[in-house]
């Protein structure tokens, strides 16, 4: 797996009177057949990095190479055959049909008049097929749902038939099934058609499940590159997302919303009922632990009841709803 | 694609044929009717035999009505294609040929000539010049448009954002028009009247040699637009997507501005500032062909533009009367309700764009 794109001491940011440097000394690599998710909190320079890598922003320093060739030495027409993008910019709804939109992706290959060859038609058809858009291909973009339109935008990038695709928040504004669907398709594409795919996203869950590697932008602007599991275990993930109101739970791979007055309850069991009780406690702002000490919550399968014990006293609840109201009423938690 | 493309092709061809037939019908009507009614068979005679028809009618047909109908066709074509360019470049349904200030520049040029007053080119002098006066008006309008064009090109090289360019264009247009207003304020009433008449617009052409020039300008503008159609299509997705597909956006922008300036500038120089057609016709074309491909949009806008211009000209002649209404008022009066109907009918302005 050769590296398709790499950078040498790249500096990103905005030029002008007050130069604003966002990230410095970036040495990054994108390989083919690999999905990389770029994760970072809002405002940490995700879009800046993607725009710099895709050539919309000039780097403040350092170099970007595509297939070993410096990006500024590549003509726009040639670059368009190496790199395609899907931007966050929401496309104005339009009379344009899905087929016409996807066809635009072939423009780097057609002549001045834009006449299509057999190959061009084939590629457009293929791209439409990959995103399962055949039933929609003659529909106007304005009549599509957000998810369908996003798939059409991705199909346009696919028709451009480039070894590298960069997508800036392709799953924003979409519901869960659509998000999962799009990420799955992108991953399949990367592996089957040997493309390098760079995705920026806010969707931690999905990124952790799909990405082959993650790029994390750290608070100091540096970018850490690694396999998702490693980044979680070595604490990089928590470091990248330092937020007061949330803590990263390594055991579940999720961010937990925390309150200022948060407490802790021990839920040592592993049954289904206890799993969901744990989720409910986390939702109302409590931390859970596995140690059997202090305030303890257990599920009694014989009576179908939750039993909570604190200072030798115990309370019983038949449902999670009742459990929560008891906990909140009696303040049944240990201070942290 | 095959089934899809066949039905798609036959549907636009059908639209093209009926629109073309409508245009031919309107041109014939515009030659037939006016202050004097000329029967169809006499027109036939006047065109095909030198001596067959009444010499007065012969002269009305050849010297007045045919040049006027052709001027209307060329103006309609040029303004509509120019308007389409601006709507695509700025991705704004309200853009038209005048947004870059080029037509205001033409007004300033004409104001310089007509309101010049102190110069040797007073209006009485102009009237004595006869045919030459028309050429002078043309040349000054063209010079005025060119000056503004250079300002806009200068700006377009410096800014990266099209919205900035759009605002600068509108502001330059405002500055130009306010200069014209100040000039009017200090001018003699007769000069102001003559200038106002120019701003009403007119399809009256004086000579076939002018039409000849107009024809080649409109024709080359149309051909250049067709050559730009692939780039225009990619620009529909916005600058960044266009760049990502290998389009040299700055070069594309300058080409689009130059073609628009050629079409709109020359039309304004010949016919005066004619509003509405350039903004409205692309919307009508979109509503009819329901497509965004410029390979279709350019010819359809041209065709529909010609139809609207000739139709408005027929109305402006007030058939059977001695009066002629200002064409500029008629284009807006007839056209605006049509556009309102079309856009309300399509239920979605953005979808229509």
| Nearest of A292, A279, A216, A277 to residue A251 by alpha carbon | A279
Tokens for B145? 């448009």
Helix (H) or strand (E) holding B237: none
Torsion, Cα A88 A91 A97 A98, to 10 degrees, reads 10
CA atoms within 13 A on the CB side of A113: 5
Instruction: State whether residue B245 sits within 8 Å of chain A by CB.
Output: yes
pLDDT for res A219? 86
Place of tokens 């947004």: B99
Interface test with B, best of A66, A91, A95 (most B CBs within 10 A): A95
How far away is chain A from the Cα of B270, in angstroms, using its nearest Cα? 31
Taking chain B (353 residues) in consecutive chunks of 10 residues, what is each chunk's mean pLDDT?
Answer: 48 93 96 86 80 79 91 97 94 87 90 69 58 81 91 88 89 93 86 87 84 94 96 92 93 94 92 91 89 94 97 90 88 83 65 49
SS (H, E, C) B75-91: HHHHHHHHHHHHHHHHC
pLDDT for res B73? 97
pLDDT for res B278? 92
Helix (H) or strand (E) holding A8: strand A3-14
Contact B315, B246 (CB under 8 A): no
pLDDT for res A114? 87
CA distance B270 to B142: 9
Quick check: do A3-245 and A258-335 share a fold? yes
pLDDT for res B1? 39
Within chain B, residue ranges assigned H as helices are: 2-32, 40-48, 55-59, 66-90, 102-114, 123-129, 131-158, 162-185, 189-200, 208-227, 229-235, 239-244, 249-271, 277-289, 294-316, 327-345, 349-352
Contacts across the A-B interface (CB distance below 8 Å): 93
Place of tokens 């500029």: B328
pLDDT for res B58? 86
CA distance B43 to B139: 34
In sequence order, the β-bridge partners of residue A20 are A14
Q: Can you tell me the ipTM of this complex? A: 0.84
Closest partner residue to B292 among A80, A100, A110, by Cβ?
A100
How many structural domains comprise chain B? 1
Q: Would you write out chain A's pLDDT as a tens digit for each of its 336 residues?
A: 468 899 999 999 888 778 888 888 899 999 999 999 999 888 888 889 999 998 888 899 999 999 999 999 999 999 999 999 999 877 665 788 999 999 999 999 998 888 899 999 999 999 999 999 999 999 988 888 888 999 999 999 999 999 999 999 998 888 889 899 999 999 999 999 999 999 998 888 888 889 999 999 988 888 999 999 898 888 888 788 876 566 676 766 766 665 545 688 888 888 888 889 988 888 887 888 888 888 899 999 998 899 999 888 899 999 999 998 888 888 888 887
The gap from C-alpha A122 to its chain's centroid, in whole angstroms, comes to 31
A23: Cβ contacts below 8 Å, ≥ 6 apart: A10, A11, A12, A13, A45, A48, A49, A217, A221, A222, A223
Could you tell me the maximum CA-CA distance found in chain A, to the nearest angstrom?
Answer: 84
Closest partner residue to A93 among B237, B244, B351, by Cβ?
B351
In sequence order, the β-bridge partners of residue A310 are A313
Does the CA dihedral B61-B63-B66-B69 come out positive or negative?
negative
- The fold of A258-335 is Rossmann fold (3.40.50)
CATH of the domain at B237: 1.10.3470.10
In sequence order, the β-bridge partners of residue A298 are A307
| Nearest of B102, B97, B113 to residue B172 by alpha carbon | B102
Residue A84 main-chain phi, psi, to 5 deg: -125, 160
pLDDT for res B204? 85
Closest partner residue to B292 among A78, A85, A96, by Cβ?
A96
Per domain, the residue ranges of chain A are 3-245, 258-335
Tell the CATH superfamily of the A3-245 domain: P-loop containing nucleotide triphosphate hydrolases (3.40.50.300)
Residue B108 domain boundaries: 2-352
Within B91-207, residue ranges assigned H as helices are: 102-114, 123-129, 131-158, 162-185, 189-200
């Amino acid at each position: 797996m050769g590296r398709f794109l790499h950078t040498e001491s790249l500096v990103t940011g905005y030029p002008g009177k007050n130069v604003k440097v966002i990230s410095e000394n970036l040495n990054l690599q994108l390989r083919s057949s690999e999905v990389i998710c770029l994760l970072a909190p809002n405002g940490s320079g995700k879009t800046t990095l993607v725009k710099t890598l895709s050539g919309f922003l000039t780097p403040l320093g350092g170099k970007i190479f595509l297939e070993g060739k410096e990006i500024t030495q590549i003509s726009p027409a040639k670059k368009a055959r190496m790199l395609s993008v899907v931007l966050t910019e929401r496309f104005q709804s339009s009379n344009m049909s899905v087929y016409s939109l996807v066809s635009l992706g072939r423009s780097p290959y057609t002549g001045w008049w834009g006449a299509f060859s057999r190959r061009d038609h084939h590629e457009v058809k293929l791209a439409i097929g990959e995103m399962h858009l055949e039933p929609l291909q003659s529909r106007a973009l304005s009549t599509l749902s957000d998810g369908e339109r996003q798939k059409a935008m991705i199909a346009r990038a696919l028709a451009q038939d480039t070894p590298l695709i960069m997508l800036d928040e392709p799953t924003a504004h979409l519901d869960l099934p659509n998000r999962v669907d799009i990420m799955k398709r992108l991953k399949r594409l990367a592996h089957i058609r040997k493309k390098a795919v760079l995705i920026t996203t806010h969707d931690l869950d999905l990124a952790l499940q799909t990405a082959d590697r993650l790029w994390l932008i750290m608070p100091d602007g540096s970018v850490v590159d690694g396999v998702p599991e490693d980044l979680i275990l070595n604490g990089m993930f928590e470091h990248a997302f330092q937020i007061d109101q949330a803590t990263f739970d390594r055991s579940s791979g999720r961010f937990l919303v925390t309150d200022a007055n948060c407490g802790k309850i021990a839920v040592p069991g592993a049954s289904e009922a206890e799993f969901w009780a744990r989720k409910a406690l986390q939702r109302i702002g409590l931390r859970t632990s596995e140690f059997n000490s202090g305030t303890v919550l257990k599920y009694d399968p014989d009576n179908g009841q939750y039993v909570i014990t604190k200072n030798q006293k115990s309370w019983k609840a038949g449902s999670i709803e009742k459990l929560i109201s008891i906990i909140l009423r009696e303040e049944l938690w240990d201070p942290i | 694609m095959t089934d899809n493309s066949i039905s798609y092709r036959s549907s636009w061809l059908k639209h093209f044929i009926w629109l073309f037939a409508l245009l031919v019908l309107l041109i014939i009507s515009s030659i037939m009717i006016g202050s004097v009614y000329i029967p169809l068979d006499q027109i036939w005679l006047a065109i095909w035999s030198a001596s067959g028809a009444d010499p007065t009618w012969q002269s009305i047909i050849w010297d007045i009505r045919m040049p006027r109908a052709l001027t209307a066709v060329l103006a309609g074509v040029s303004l509509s294609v120019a308007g389409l360019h601006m709507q695509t470049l700025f991705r704004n349904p309200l853009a038209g040929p005048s947004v870059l200030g080029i037509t205001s520049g033409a007004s300033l040029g004409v104001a310089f000539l007509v309101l010049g007053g102190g110069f040797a080119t007073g209006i009485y002098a102009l009237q004595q010049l006869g045919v030459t006066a028309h050429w002078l008006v043309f040349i000054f309008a063209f010079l005025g448009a060119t000056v503004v064009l250079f300002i806009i090109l200068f700006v377009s090289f410096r800014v990266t954002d099209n919205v900035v360019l759009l605002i600068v264009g509108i502001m330059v247009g405002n500055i130009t028009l306010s200069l014209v207003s100040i000039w009017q304020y200090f001018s003699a009433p007769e000069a102001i009247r003559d200038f106002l008449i120019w701003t009403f617009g007119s399809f009256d052409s004086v000579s076939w040699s002018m039409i000849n020039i107009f024809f080649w300008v409109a024709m080359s503008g149309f051909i250049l637009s067709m050559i730009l159609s692939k780039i225009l299509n990619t620009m529909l997705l916005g600058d960044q997507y266009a760049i990502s597909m290998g389009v040299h956006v700055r070069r594309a922008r300058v080409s689009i501005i130059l073609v628009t300036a050629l079409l709109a500038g020359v039309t304004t120089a010949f016919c005066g500032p004619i509003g509405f057609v350039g903004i409205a016709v692309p919307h009508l074309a979109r509503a009819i062909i329901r497509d965004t491909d410029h390979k279709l949009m350019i010819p359809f806008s041209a065709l529909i533009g010609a139809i609207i211009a000739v139709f408005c000209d027929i109305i402006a002649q007030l058939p059977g009367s001695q009066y002629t209404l200002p064409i500029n008022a008629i284009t807006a009066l007839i056209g605006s309700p049509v556009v309102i109907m079309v856009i309300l009918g399509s239920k979605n302005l953005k979808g229509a764009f």
